[in-house]
Structures are given as C-alpha cells and as structure tokens.
Amino acid sequence: MADLSNPFSGYSVDDIDAAQRFYGDVLGLETRPVNGLLWLRLGTGAEVLLYPKGPAHRPAEYTVLNFRVADVPGTVAELRDRGVTFEHYRGTPTETDEDGVFRGGGPLIAWFTDPAGNVLSIVADD
C-alpha cells in the first residue's frame, strides 16, 4: 500500500534569492535552500517548497499560505514596519480598511504578497 502520510505544499516564485530574503529576513521563517529550490519550515514543523519558474512564473490568484496570529492589527503594524505592503480590496466582498484588515465578518484577516506576487495572509487565531 502506498504511504501518502507525509505530504507538503509548494508553489512557484520567479526568484529564489528574493524569496529567501523575504521569507527569511522579513517574515522570520526558517529557510533552507537545496539544489536551487527553497524549503520553508513553518512553526508547526511542516515544510513548504518554493520552486523557481523565472519569467514563466505567474503569481497565484488565491492565498497560498496563511499565518495564524493572535493580533492581526498588531501583526499588520509590525510587518508594515518591516516593509510589507498590505492589499486593499475596496469595493469587493472582502473589502479591507485603511490598514488592509478585513473586518466584514468571520476572523480578521489581512492579505499581502511575496516578491513573486503570490498572495499570503495573516488571519486571527480564534
């Protein structure tokens, strides 16, 4: 019987070095480059694989990685101080406030992108 009990997720980026700086230096994740790929180690121990596609990369149009946090507005402020820009979805069902935080029902959530344009979020750990 096939053992499929150790899955991992992955997505593409256009520049592995820029991804390593962003995920490692800005977001503070443990990163591990291996053979031109980049592994991210999450706080849960799970890993995510980032693989280079160069000019063929197309950013994901959906959220590829969510970070659960206790304080969304506080985390937005801290990440903004580190140079992260948050998305503003004005006039949409997920409209965000001036800080980039969705407060329209459900958990607080704020979206931002990595250097390759992939969508990430911080979401309230309720």
Q: What residues have CB less than 8 Å from 3, skipping those under 6 apart? A: none
**CB of 29 within 8 A of CB of 41?**
yes
Quote the tokens at residue 54: 């160069």
**pLDDT-based confidence at residue 61 (cuts at 50, 70, 90):** confident
Q: How far apart are CA 82 and CA 31, in angstroms?
A: 18
pLDDT tops 90 at residue 6? no
Mean pLDDT of the chain: 95
**What is the helix (H) or strand (E) element at residue 13, kind and residue range?**
strand 9-13
Predicted confidence at residue 48, as pLDDT, reads 97
- pTM for this predicted structure: 0.92
**CB of 32 within 8 A of CB of 16?**
no
In angstroms, how far is the first alpha carbon of the chain from the final one?
Answer: 38
pLDDT digits (tens, 9 = 90+) for 42-58: 999 999 999 999 999 99
Predicted confidence at residue 42, as pLDDT, reads 95
For residue 70, count CB atoms less than 10 angstroms from its CB and return exposed for 0-12, middle for 13-18, buried for 19 or more. exposed
Quote the tokens at residue 100: 């980039």
